[in-house]
Structure 1
Amino acid sequence: MSEITYVRGDATVPSVKGVKVIAHVCNDIGGWGKGFVLAISRRWPEPEKSYRAWHRERASNDFGLGAVRFVQVEPYVWVANMVGQRGIRTGSKGVPVRYEAIDAALERLGEKTVELGASVHMPRIGCGLAGGKWSRIEPLITERLVRRGISVTVYDHGEGGR
C-alpha cells in the first residue's frame, strides 16, 4: 500500500502529471480570507467565487460541515473546497476544526478522485487556522484516500511560507 508523500513546496503548484485535485478545508460561516485560501485565490478566482455563492445559497444546497464542492480551475486541475471547520475562532467550544466533518469530506474527495483518476495535493489540512492536530487528520487521509490507492502529496511550506 502506498503512503502519503511529504514535500516542501506550494500545494497550489503540484509538479506531477495527470489530473490533480488540490484539497483544502473551509469554514462553515462563509469566511474566505486567511490561510491557504489566499494562495488559492492568488492563482484562480473560481474557488473563492464558488465557495461564496455556495454559502450564500446554502438554504437550497448541501453547504455545511462535511460537504465538498469541486471547482475545475484548469483542464487537469480541480480544487476541492471541503467544509471541515466550525466558525473561525478558538473559543469556549475549543478549536474550529471538526474531525468528523473532515472525515466525511475526505470520503467524498476519495469518490470524486477515483472517478477523475486523479492524485490529491494538500497542505496539512485542518492544522493551520482551524487548530487541528495532524496526528488526528493523517489517519483519516490514510483511511479515506491512501487505502483506495489514491496518490496523496502533503506540502509543507518552507520558512516564511504563507
Structure 2
Amino acid sequence: MALTHIMGDATQLQGEGPRLLVHICNDIGAWGRGFVMTLSKAYPQPEREFKRWATGQTEQAYALGEVQFVPVSPTLTVANLVGQHDIARKNNPTAEPPVRYEAIRTGLERVRDEAQSLGASVHVPRIGAGVAGGDWALIEPMIREELTNHGLKVTVYSLPNIQAQNS
C-alpha cells in the first residue's frame, strides 16, 4: 500500500471507511503542547481517556511503546501512542530530545494490529517530529516498515509553512 503525504490538518481526515488517527504522547501524563491541542478541540475523548490511563485508572499498562485506542465515532479511533520520554524543557535546550524511536516502532506494531483488525486506514501528523524532537527522516521509514509494507494505507498530514507538525 501507499504512503500519501498531504497538506492539511490531521484532525480533518481524508477518505472514507474506518480510520485510525495516530499521534505521539509522553510517558509522564502531560497533555498540553503540540498536536494534542488541535486534537482536543476536535475530539475531547482522547485527552480524557489519556489522563485516566496515565493516572492508573485503567487496566492497561501505561509505558513507552503502549497504545491506547479511543473510539471517537463509528468510523474513527484515535491512537494515543506513548513514544516520548518526559517532555522537552525550554530551560534545558542541550538535553536529549524526548522522542524514543524504539517505542514509536513498538507502538506502530500495535497500531498495525488494530488497523488490520478494524480494516482501517491510518492517518498521522508528522509523529515524533514536533515537540518530541525527533527526526522525520528516521520516523517515516518506520511507518513504511510497520504499516504500509503490511498492506495498510497511510496518510501523513503536514501543515503549510511548518516543516514538522508537532505530535
TM over 0.5: yes
Contact conserved, 2:52 with 2:58, CA < 8 A, in 1?
no
Work out the CA distance in 1 between the residues paired with 2:161 and 2:129.
17
Q: Can you list the C-alpha shifts for 1:9-28, whole angstroms capped at 9, x where unaligned?
A: 01111120100100000000
Q: TM-score, normalised by structure 1?
A: 0.94
Amino acid at match of 2:12: V
Q: Is the 8 A contact 2:18 2:75 kept in 1?
A: yes
**Paired positions, count:** 161
Deviation larger for 27-36 or 57-66: 57-66
Q: Distance between the aligned counterparts of 2:23 and 2:86, measured in 1?
A: 15
In 1, distance between residues paired with 2:115 and 2:18? 9
- Shift in Å at residue 101 of structure 1? 0.1
CA-to-aligned-CA distance 1:64-114 (integer Å, 9 cap, x gap)? 000000000011000000000000015565100000000000000000000
Q: CA deviation at 1:45?
A: 1.0
Corresponding position of 1:112: 114
Query: Paired residue for 1:61?
Result: 60
Corresponding position of 1:150:
152
Normalising by the residue count of structure 2, what TM-score does the alignment of the two structures yield?
0.91
Gaps of 5+ in 1: none
Q: Provide the residue aligned with 1:29 in structure 2.
A: 28
Q: Which amino acid aligns with 2:153?
A: S
Letter in 2 for 1:83: V
For the residue of structure 2 that corresponds to 1:10, the secondary structure is: coil
Displacement after TM superposition at 1:59 (Å): 9.1
Looking at structure 2, the residues matched to 61 and 16 of structure 1 have their Cα atoms a distance apart, in angstroms, of: 30
CA distance in 2, matches of 1:24, 1:105: 10
Distance in 2 (CA, whole Å) between partners of 1:46 and 1:59 is 14
What is the percentage of aligned positions where both structures have the same residue?
45
